Structure 1
């Protein structure tokens, strides 16, 4: 399973269908939110992991104790039982103080209420964490020594020693964005070149809702194929 599978492959398709049915949403609208939200989540996790050793350790502990990838063995139960309060807490851990900003921006651009956007994010969060857990397990089994930041960076397509195992995200980002931007915010770690710069601009407080909406469209267009 690669990163694009999580968004537009078999897993992404199941997620879109399950979320649409659970929340009573149009599938095309749901697919757009899924395609924009998952890259935001993964990039935010990468930012958190690189921000401090404590946050990186917290993510690793969450993967080890709760998110080992077994969620993919029974996706139906996630969509039939959720969204739950625990799943909503995962969203808040991922986005922190930007959580409401993310919900509002996705709501304004998609036309879906903030309440249902919150439900979509809550159902996607355990999928993103489960995917990371599965990748971390594979890394450990192969004797890999990199930290969680290295792992997420490789998934997103960052890092000099990139292999084809990430699903070609680095090449995809380069073809859509033309490489990394030269005006990345100094407070934003260099998480993955073009994608990191794009997500950094989404969280840049100087950008208005129109600019944020354009960035979400770029993410959805990049991954929602």
Structure 2
């Protein structure tokens, strides 16, 4: 199991169709939003889990409630749109960055912030369900960081090496094209670093937009 399944695999395809149908938007735009937003969600969860033991435990408990059962009914979800609980998941993920995420995704897609908010609310429980299912299947006693790492690490198959495409992108974001070495000591590696840079307050909207394009582009969107 890895992030590619959430974006371009079976689950991703269903999520894209669900976003497009529920929000009445073009499937091509739904694909772009999914490819950019899902890595941001996982990077945000990783960041939150490292804030404190309490935050980490809170995420672990939330994942226990989201055990993957959502995938048994994914085609029939959100008949009346996402619920307030789904919006709360988004706010828990992104915190004070919620509006920043919405505004930047809206600017890149031409969709309204409300439509983007709806897309995020659809994706959030799907991402949590996927991670919860992964947590159940983990045979090791590793923590949330190990689970997120195993999922996010899958995205690196789209780059030639950690110092390749991802390194070039991150070098551009972090230092105007300078070289970048991805940290890979069992943690989330290059894709997480790229997604995490979106939340760097030192990056303006232009760089944030570049990061979103890069994330989406990694999955052919």
Sort the TM-score into its range (normalised by shorter chain): 0.7 to 0.9
Match of 2:112 in 1: 113
Task: Give the superposition deviation at 1:81.
Answer: 4.2
Number of equivalences: 207
Task: Give the superposition deviation at 1:206.
Answer: 2.5
Task: Give the superposition deviation at 1:89.
Answer: 0.2
Task: Give the superposition deviation at 1:129.
Answer: 0.2
Superposition RMSD in Å:
2.2
Written as runs of structure 1 = structure 2, the 5 A alignment for 1:1-225 is 1-64=1-64, 66-139=65-138, 142=139, 144-157=140-153, 168-173=154-159, 174=162, 175-178=164-167, 181=170, 183=174, 192-224=188-220
Q: Normalising by structure 1, what TM-score?
A: 0.84
Distance 1:180 1:155, change over 3 A: farther
Alignment check: 8 A CA contact 1:180 1:197 kept: no
Distance in 2 of aligned mates of 1:117 and 1:24: 12
Residue-by-residue CA offset, 1:52-104 (whole Å, 9 max, x unaligned): 1111100111111x200010011023232431100000000000110000000
Distance in 2 of aligned mates of 1:88 and 1:69: 19
- Structure 1 segments of 4 or more deviating over 6 A? none
Alignment check: 8 A CA contact 1:181 1:193 kept: no
Distance in 2 of aligned mates of 1:84 and 1:105: 23
Task: Give the superposition deviation at 1:181.
Answer: 4.8
Structure 2 gap ranges (5+) = 176-182
Alignment check: 8 A CA contact 2:2 2:152 kept: no
Match of 1:165 in 2: none
Task: Give the superposition deviation at 1:179.
Answer: 7.5
